[in-house]
Amino acid sequence: MKRIAIFLALSCIGAQAFAEESHARISANKPPIETYTYGSRLDIKKVISMTDVAPECGPVSAQMTYEDSQGLRHVMQYQVMGTGCSNG
């Protein structure tokens, strides 16, 4: 019975270490978020994804993930007008 308890404890520790390692590897592969400013030079070859625009009346943050001409992935944060304004 003791052997089973020790085996289960070691298995849990190993699984947790593996999960933390894979999470760290995924985080390391994510490109840093770049903030767009007027005059930023953009090299966008392919848009991968864009976040939805928030339903607020005013400027809101949005993000675009894209690949440049070198095949490197970037995440750019920028401001857009929210979709929550009504003209009535």
pLDDT class of 44 with cuts at 50, 70, 90: very high
pTM for the full predicted model? 0.61
Residue 67 neighbours by CB distance under 10 Å: 15
Output 5 or 42, whichever has higher pLDDT.
42
Q: Which residues, in sequence order, are CB contacts of 49 under 8 Å at separation 6+?
A: 64, 65
The residues spanned by each domain of the chain are: 1-30, 31-88
Assign domain 31-88 one CATH number from 3.40.50.800, 2.160.10.10, 2.30.140.50, 2.60.120.10.
2.30.140.50
- Specify the pLDDT at position 88: 47
Q: For residues 54 and 42, give the distance between their C-alpha atoms in angstroms, rounded to a whole number.
A: 24
Tens digit of each residue's pLDDT (9 = 90 or more) over 58-81 = 999 999 999 999 999 999 999 999
Q: For residues 22 and 61, give the distance between their C-alpha atoms in angstroms, rounded to a whole number.
A: 29
